[in-house]
Amino acid sequence: MMGGCAAPPTGKPAPKATPEELSDRRSAYERELDHLAKNPASAPKVEKLWRGETREKLISLSFDDGPRPEWIEKLLTILKANDVKATFYLVGKMVKLNPDQARKIAADGHEIGNHSYSHPNLSKVSDQDVLEEILAAQNTIRSVTGVTPVTMRPPGGNISQAVLAANRKAGLVAIEGTTPAQLTTRKFDPPPQWSPADGGYVGLLH
């Protein structure tokens, strides 16, 4: 299992997509619609999680926003040396730009999650844009890595009913992190008595 996404460190909004990126997103979205028409996604048993469903003293590592060539090879080397598996929440356009790194993540046995196509604030775009962002990322990740994500992390933790609806269509579960910054947003309303000692901690890393 996985983690949650914080706002970009700079606090600045993600740059607007270029016409080329919008065209790429639209094409990938349409391919995913074709795929879903032939292979309907199974409805997830739960819509969203902020911690692992375990009482064991275990934590889950997750990394957001990649793959980025400047750090992914070193990170994968460290994880492999320590026999640790993690979840990488990948951005569709970054997967397209860095396909070899995305394939290496999959080849090393790590889980891959959906982190949208271009990393916008999904609570501030149209419902159609939300659907396109999620389905386009799904298609791009699968076509490049051969992996179909089963979890999705909304950029910045910005979840909405449109995100949940798009996830249902794609068969995805929304995952947040069990970090203080995430819990205080109240987006997932965790029980007030929960503590990391209870197990199932979901670590959020960038």
Mean pLDDT over 161-172 rounds to 96
Top-confidence residue, 31 or 54: 31
| Phi, psi for residue 28 in degrees, rounded to 5 | -65, -35
Q: What does the pLDDT read at residue 9? A: 37
Sequence-distant (6+) residues with CB within 8 A of 6 are: 64, 156, 157, 177, 179, 181, 182, 204, 206
Residues 6 or more apart whose Cβ sits within 8 Å of residue 101: 66, 67, 68, 69, 72, 73
How many C-beta neighbours within 10 Å does residue 14 have? 14
The predicted structure's pLDDT at residue 128:
97
pLDDT tops 80 at residue 8: no
Average model confidence (pLDDT) for the chain? 84
Q: Taking residues 125-136, report their average pLDDT.
A: 98
Mean pLDDT of 18-25: 91
Q: What b/e readout covers 65-98, taking b as 16+ CB neighbours within 10 angstroms? A: bbbeeeebeebbeebeeeeeebbbbbbbbbbbeb
- pLDDT of 91 higher than 80: yes
Is pLDDT of 205 > 50? Answer: yes
104 burial type by CB count under 10 A (0-12 exposed, 13-18 middle, 19+ buried): middle
| pTM metric for this prediction | 0.84
**Residue predicted with more confidence, 200 or 41:** 41
| Token pair belonging to 36 | 């879903």
Domains defined along the chain, listed by start: 19-185+200-205 (3.20.20.370)
- CB atoms under 10 Å from CB of 198, counted, come to 14
- Using 50, 70 and 90 to split pLDDT, how confident is the model at 2? very low
Q: Please say if the pLDDT value at position 25 is more than 70.
A: yes
Q: In this structure, how many other beta carbons lie within 10 angstroms of the beta carbon of residue 117?
A: 31
Using 50, 70 and 90 to split pLDDT, how confident is the model at 78? very high
Query: pLDDT-based confidence at 45, cuts 50/70/90?
Result: confident
Q: Tell me the DSSP string of 187-204.
A: SS---TT--GGGS-EEEE
Whether residue 204 has pLDDT greater than 90: no
- Residue 4 has a pLDDT of 35
